[in-house]
Amino acid sequence: MAFWDRFKKKKENIDTDEIIETIEDQEEKEELKKDSETLEEQNKMEETIPEAGLENQEAAANETLEEIQEEEEHSEGEIVEEDHEEKSLSFLDRLKNGLTKTRSNIAEKIDDILASTRSVDEDMMEELEDTLISADLGMESTMEIIDQLRDRIKRKNIKDPETVKKELISIMKNELTKNNLDSEIHIENSPMIILVVGVNGVGKTTTIGKMAYQYKEKGKNVLLVAADTFRAAAIEQLTEWANRAEVDIISHKEGADPASVIFDGIAAAKNKNSDIIICDTAGRLHNKKNLMNELNKIHRVIEKEFPTAKKEVLLVLDGTTGQNAIFQAKEFKEACELTGIVITKMDGTAKGGVIFPLQAQMEIPVKLIGIGEQIDNLVEFDSEAFVEAIVN
Ligand SMILES: Nc1nc2c(ncn2[C@@H]2O[C@H](COP(=O)(O)OP(=O)(O)OP(=O)(O)O)[C@@H](O)[C@H]2O)c(=O)[nH]1
Ligand SMILES: [Mg+2]
């Protein structure tokens, strides 16, 4: 009998030991057993760790994931009624609406600077530089952009402020594009399994709900897997999104082993011929070792049970946390093989320029951005459109 058939006969609340017992390869079995024991010990220790706040971004940047704990209980993603009017807007208009705060912080300031400029000079360059820094583009990316702008102004002998703006936009587009060559999630390659990771409260579950809706709209057969078993509320929240997007969901009880939920999800996906399986994961793994163990275990189950599936590992970052998002990205990059980044809550920040240093330093493409709490407030990232929306 096939491995999956044997598994199907077991109860919903299967634990890892049971999965391991069904694996025939002795070496693989021993390794998984060791991982499972280490994880259990760490989970016990973790229960005693108090929850604290992520208040000081600079301090947090010097600490490890172990010290990143929750700021406060995040309200569960309330599903707001869809705004049908939005649908008739063009992609760029929707993006502009979603990025209003960053747009006012960059585009409006640049227009003011250029409107009050009599001659294209060093004072103007400094004001442009300050504007980019205030929108969180970071010192390095800002200097790169401003230096190139200086060169072009000199080389082309530019005297007109409007032309300065055009050149600035073109340089910013180049900068963002060169670090983001493939931002597409190639959902045509089904079956695809998408693992969604990130610290707590960044917007993982909400993003999964939005993705499920989008892919379902594109005619894909989507299955959600509730592998964040940390709280019952997390499972309920994902179930609510599954209902709203009208897709199937596989979940176990609170406290179940995440790898076993994924195992079950893969089995169900094969049975239902799902095109896209999206797995929610817990954000409350307080240290890197813990995180690595958990994700390694999940990866092994995926490799073993669904080697033919195309894999995406998406890191979700909260756009309102500024430079701290870069720190989180570095931690996760060391813990697992990320294939893309999703930046959420871009509607809530004036500092959306953080995408520039993030792309430059991480070499992992931003693939999606969240621009609101509604089900259709998730857009595919496009470097050129993004620059248009925040500068032009
Ligand atoms: N404004 C805005 N809010 C968002 C966006 N994405 C998520 N949120 C909100 O962020 C909050 C946290 O979202 P969740 O999806 O629960 O985050 P999570 O990462 O799953 O959190 P945990 O499960 O606790 O780890 C919710 O209130 C969401 O509505 C976005 O793009 N814009
Ligand atoms: Mg969640």
**CA-closest residue to ligand 1 atom 26:** 77
**Is the domain of 273 the same as that of 333?**
yes
Instruction: Evaluate: CB of 209 within 6 angstroms of ligand 1.
Output: no
Q: Pick from 185, 250, 192: which is nearest to 221 by CA?
A: 192
Q: Residue 357: is the preceding peptide bond cis (ω within 30°)?
A: no
**Is the domain of 152 the same as that of 196?**
no
In a domain, 250, yes or no: yes
CATH number, domain containing residue 145: 1.20.120.140
* Domain end residue (candidates: 344, 362, 383): 344
Instruction: Evaluate: CB of 365 within 6 angstroms of ligand 1.
Output: no
Strands 378-380, 366-370: pairing kind:
antiparallel
pLDDT score, position 180: 87
In a domain, 241, yes or no: yes
> Tens digits of per-residue pLDDT, 330-371?
999 988 899 999 999 999 999 999 999 999 999 899 999 999
What's the predicted TM-score (pTM) here?
0.79
What percentage of the chain carries pLDDT values higher than 90? 68
pLDDT score, position 13: 42
Task: Note down the domain range covering 262.
Answer: 189-344
Listed range (87-91, 258-262, 287-291, 309-313) with the worst mean pLDDT: 87-91
**Is the domain of 111 the same as that of 232?**
no
| pLDDT-based confidence at residue 287 (cuts at 50, 70, 90) | confident
> Tens digits of per-residue pLDDT, 201-252?
999 999 999 999 999 999 999 999 999 998 899 999 999 999 999 999 999 9
**Is the domain of 230 the same as that of 107?**
no
pLDDT score, position 278: 98
**Is the domain of 158 the same as that of 206?**
no
Choose the residue to mutate in 54, 65, 74, 214 for probing ligand 1, maximizing ligand atoms within 8 Å of C-beta.
Answer: 74
Instruction: Evaluate: CB of 101 within 6 angstroms of ligand 1.
Output: no
Choose the residue to mutate in 344, 375, 380 for probing ligand 1, maximizing ligand atoms within 8 Å of C-beta.
Answer: 344
Instruction: Evaluate: CB of 372 within 6 angstroms of ligand 1.
Output: yes
In terms of C-beta distances under 8 Å and separation of at least 24 residues, what long-range contacts does 77-80 make, across chains too? Answer: 77/203, 77/205, 77/206, 77/209, 77/237, 77/241, 77/373, 78/373, 79/209, 79/240, 79/241, 79/244, 79/373, 79/375, 80/373, 80/374
In a domain, 374, yes or no: no
How many A from CA of 213 to the centre of ligand 1? 16
**Is the domain of 202 the same as that of 338?**
yes
Contact 235, 228 (CB under 8 A): yes
| Average of per-residue pLDDT values in the chain | 83
pLDDT score, position 18: 53
**Is the domain of 221 the same as that of 290?**
yes
How many A from CA of 111 to the centre of ligand 1? 33
> In the predicted model, is pLDDT for residue 36 greater than 90?
no
CA distance 132 to 168: 11
How many A from CA of 91 to the centre of ligand 2? 27
Listed range (2-6, 35-39, 93-97, 161-165) with the worst mean pLDDT: 2-6
CA distance 79 to 375: 7
| pLDDT-based confidence at residue 29 (cuts at 50, 70, 90) | low
How many A from CA of 268 to the centre of ligand 2? 22
In a domain, 85, yes or no: no
**CA-closest residue to ligand 1 atom 21:** 201
CA distance 254 to 272: 24
* Domain end residue (candidates: 145, 178, 211): 178
Kindly report the backbone phi and psi dihedral angles of residue 311, in degrees, each rounded to the nearest multiple of 5, phi listed first: -110, 140
pLDDT score, position 34: 60
CA distance 68 to 311: 27
> In the predicted model, is pLDDT for residue 82 greater than 60?
no
**Is the domain of 123 the same as that of 256?**
no
> In the predicted model, is pLDDT for residue 141 greater than 80?
yes
Strands 248-250, 276-281: pairing kind:
unpaired
* Domain end residue (candidates: 178, 210, 240): 178
How many A from CA of 342 to the centre of ligand 2? 14
> In the predicted model, is pLDDT for residue 286 greater than 90?
no
**Is the domain of 110 the same as that of 171?**
yes
CA distance 48 to 125: 53
**Is the domain of 99 the same as that of 150?**
yes
| pLDDT-based confidence at residue 28 (cuts at 50, 70, 90) | low
Kindly report the backbone phi and psi dihedral angles of residue 345, in degrees, each rounded to the nearest multiple of 5, phi listed first: 55, 30
| pLDDT-based confidence at residue 61 (cuts at 50, 70, 90) | very low
Choose the residue to mutate in 328, 373, 374, 378 for probing ligand 1, maximizing ligand atoms within 8 Å of C-beta.
Answer: 373
Atom of ligand 1 nearest to the CA of 230: 23
Q: For the chain, what is the domain count? A: 2
Token pair in block for residue 385: 């459109």
**CA-closest residue to ligand 1 atom 28:** 77
Helix (H, G, I), strand (E, B) or coil at 222: strand
371 residue type, one letter: I
In a domain, 274, yes or no: yes
> In the predicted model, is pLDDT for residue 315 greater than 70?
yes
| pLDDT-based confidence at residue 134 (cuts at 50, 70, 90) | very high
Instruction: Evaluate: CB of 154 within 6 angstroms of ligand 1.
Output: no
145 vs 62, which has greater pLDDT? 145
Atom of ligand 1 nearest to the CA of 284: 25
In terms of C-beta distances under 8 Å and separation of at least 24 residues, what long-range contacts does 321-324 make, across chains too? Answer: 321/54, 321/57, 322/57, 322/136, 322/349, 322/351, 322/354, 323/57, 323/61, 323/136, 323/138, 323/354, 323/357, 324/54, 324/57, 324/60, 324/61
Q: Pick from 265, 253, 336, 297: which is nearest to 37 by CA?
A: 297
User: Which ligand approaches the C-alpha of residue 100 most closely?
Assistant: 1
Residue that is written with structure tokens 């050149």 in the block: 167
> In the predicted model, is pLDDT for residue 52 greater than 50?
no
In a domain, 82, yes or no: no
In a domain, 153, yes or no: yes
CA distance 92 to 103: 12
In a domain, 75, yes or no: no
**Is the domain of 135 the same as that of 209?**
no
**Is the domain of 129 the same as that of 206?**
no
Instruction: Evaluate: CB of 373 within 6 angstroms of ligand 1.
Output: yes
CATH number, domain containing residue 256: 3.40.50.300
How many A from CA of 79 to the centre of ligand 1? 10
CA distances from 341 to 17, 89, 171, 326, 329 (A): 33, 25, 23, 11, 8
